[in-house]
Every structure is written in structure tokens, then in C-alpha cells.
A = this chain, B = another copy of it.
Amino acid sequence: MPDPGPSPQRPGPTAAPARFGAPSLADALAPVTGTAEAAAVGGRVLPTRPVRPFGTAPVPEAAAPAPAHEPAPAGPAHSAAALERILRGPAGLGTVSLHWARTEEPPAAPEPAAPAASRPIPGLYHHPVAEPDPVRVEELGRRIKAWAVDEVRAFPPEWEDQFDGFSVSRYMVACHPDAPTLDHLMLAARLMVAENVVDDAYCEDGATSPDVGGRLLLAHTALDPVHTTGEYQPAWEESLSSDAARRSYRSAMEYFTGAATPAQADRFRHDMARLHLGYLAEAAWDATEYVPEVWEYLAMRQFNNFRPCPTITDTVGGYELPAELHALPAMQRVIALAGNATTLSNDLYSYMKELKSPGKHLNLPVVIAEKEGLSDKEAYLKAVEVHNDLMHAFEAESAALAAACPDPRAARFLKGVAAWVDGNHYWHASNTYRYTLPDFW
């Protein structure tokens, strides 16, 4: 998984690039025992707050009552504007056909992200998005922090400010503009946090550790459960609360399966298996100091990829893309292209940060420079073009598939993937303290 990480806790020109899950956090992720969470039933730790059974109602029906802790909206005009913005979907060049709801009137121009907070990479093909609803961002932030701190203890209390800097609520609200309720957004936010905890704890700081294969498989069982005998099942179940990574995966997945259909959960498990294979390939190359060919790097990056995030867009949106439509080769290709484009965008935004990190951190510009004998600047600009080509291919093939597939759920899913790509770009571009850009223009 690309590591979006947080904004640094104390931003400033001289601040060291910090992130949620930096080594000191990883060190702090040791097992904690004897807490209330350990008061489990049959070795199975239950979440302290049951998931609301909001099912798969489509958006119009799901313009739902505000959650108990959500600040009351300012009034009908505010609500209507917020709903209209949510339903409007992605905006910008090339997204004319990607609106959630058509109206007789032309949609209003989106509110751009605050200029001071956004610095897109010059020449990077992308679509600006409306500024995420601040009311949702605030309440989602409160809820996801409560989950991370109180329910799964993803990090010790002294790291709460780091977690706040991660801005996961702004991220997820930007990526899921059609989520009908905060409960739906929480599904995405928990998984995003959990994926970052696992990546940080098992991969980023332990990529060359030869036991990462065993550790990741045991973490994967928090998503894809073990079925064994009565004698050995409890020890496995207990293992799921034994570190922050597994606690986070397990709880986030439990909420997710409570809302998703079995086929949606199976799809997510598959994407996570791909992600873990990608982690292990990258770890193997790191351990052997192997610099892959560009095509090999691109193949690995299709697995170590944001894909698990956009492909839950239907669950977060409160509907289901049927498994048969999801499995269509054309749909699989569109999902892969979107995942690859958005993942390479992460490579480009994190280029300077990764240059400063110890050792050689593989990313597309670095691999192109080494394997094709280009200067750093030439390689970076070529990587931008690779990204742009993938974005254009994604949009062209997505439009063709939407036109060819009469099922409205396919069209909505494709819009949701596009919205995720745009929201992910917004989040990266607005993290100007984290993602400084090279001086190539």
C-alpha cells in the first residue's frame, strides 16, 4: 500500500518529515495485555460499539438521520447544499459523465481546495475536487480517533497528535463523496488506518526482516479467518488481539463484513492478498538490493497498490456492484488502471520524502533513472507521463465500459472509483508539508 501518512505534527520548513507510523510508533506497537479488550468472549474480542446495520440501501433512501454525535446541521439550506455536493460527485476536466445525480440545471462549479493548502505536481493530469464537507470531516475525525484509541489501541496515547496529523477523516470524506452516512465513511476510515498500521508495523520498518512473510500471513488471517480444530482455534483467535496491527485489521474487517455482502468482503480479501503479495515482493527486492526493471517495478506496484481502497466504494456508498460485473475482464482492467495511476501519483508526491529516507527507496522515478540512464529530472518527468497515460487509459476504458454495461450499478461504481482517485490526489496535493516537490520546473 502506498503510504499516505500524515502531515507532520509540527509543520515548518525545518521540521523533519514525520509520519504516522514512524519507527518510534512501530516500536510502540508491542502487545498490550490485561486490558478491558482482553475481556473477550470465547477468545473473540468484540467491538465495544456494535456496527449499525445500515445494509445496502441506495443513496436517496440513505440520506439518513444524523448520527447521535453528529453536530446538528445549520439548517435546511445547509443540508440541501451538503447533499447536493455529495451527490454531485467528481468534477473537473474529463468528468462530465461522472456525476452522481443528473439535474436539469448545470451543476455548480466545485469549491476548489483552499489554494494555500494545495500544490499539485505541474503537468500531473488530475481533477480538482470540492473541498470536503467540514462538518463530516470533523465528526468522522472524532469517531475514527475514538476507534483507533479506545477500541483497537492502534497506538499509545502520546501519539494522538501524530494520528490527528494523518487527517484520515479529510482523506476519506474527499474520496467517498457519495457515502450516505458517517457510519459508511467509518468503514473506509477504519480500513485505511488499519492498513497503515500494518504497513508501518510490519513493512516500512521491517521490509528487510526475513520474517515479514510469516508476520503478514498471520495478520492476513484477521481478514481471512482460519478454520481449524477446537483445540487450536482459540489460540489463533487470541492472536488477533496480540498486536496493534492485528487488532486494527480484525476490528476494521468485523465492521466491514457487518455492512458488506459476502461477495464484497471476498473481493476485499482478494485485494488485500494482492497487497500483501506486493509488500513481500518489495521486501524481497529490498533485502537483496535488487533494482527491478521498470516493467517489473510497475508489476509489483500493481499489487502494492491502493486498489483495496477504491474497490470498496460501493460498500461505502451503500450499494453493491454485483460480483459478476466486478469480475468482468473490462471492469478488472479499469480497476487496475485506476489503482496503478493513483499509486504512481503517490510515488511522485513522495519522491522528495523518500529521497531523504535511509537506503534506496524504490519508486518509479528512481527506477526509471537507474534502468534507463536518465537524469533525475528526466526520469521524474517521464514518470509523470507514465502516470498520465494510465489516467487517460483509465478514463477512456471506464467511459467505454459504462457505455457498454447497462447496469446503473456499474456506472455508479466506475464514478466511485474515479472519485476515489480524485480524492486521493486532493489529499496528496494538499499535504504540502509532507510532500515537498522537487525543483524540476
Contact = CB atoms under 8 A, between A and B. Distances in A.
Interface string A229-261: 111110110010000000000000000000001
A13 interface: no
Interface in A143-182: none
Contact of A283 (B213, B263, B277, B278): B213
Contacts of A302: 221, 226-228
Interface stretch (A17-25, A82-90, A326-334): A326-334
A227 B290 CA distance: 23
Interface in A261-280: 261-263, 265-266, 269-270, 273-274, 276-278, 280
A293 interface: yes
A352 to B, nearest CB: 24
A324 interface: yes
Mostly helix, strand, loop or mixed at chain A's interface?
helix
A226 B336 CA distance: 8
A252 B52 CA distance: 45
Interface string A274-292: 1011101111110110101
B214 A284 contact: yes
A123 B406 CA distance: 57
Contacts of A340: 227-228
A244 B212 CA distance: 28
Contacts of A138: none
A298 interface: yes
A288 B277 CA distance: 19
Interface in A359-416: 386, 389-390, 393
A188 interface: no
Given A210-B284, A327-B265, A328-B262, A228 B295 contact: yes
Most chain B CB within 10 A, of A228, A285, A302, A329, is at: A228
Interface centre among A216, A284, A285 (most CB of B within 10 A): A284
Contact of A224 (B233, B274, B300): B274
A326 B329 CA distance: 19
B327 A263 contact: yes
Given A227-B337, A239-B295, A211 B390 contact: no
Contacts of A337: 227
Given A226-B302, A299-B236, A220 B284 contact: no
B232 A298 contact: yes
Interface string A308-347: 0000000000000011101111001100110010000000
Contacts of A326: 266
Contacts of A224: 274
A312 to B, nearest CB: 15
A217 B278 contact: yes
A244 B266 CA distance: 31
Given A226-B298, A228-B302, A337-B227, A263 B216 contact: no
Q: Which 8 A-B pairs have the closest CB atoms?
A: A213-B284, A323-B323, A217-B281, A262-B327, A273-B273, A213-B280, A227-B336, A270-B270
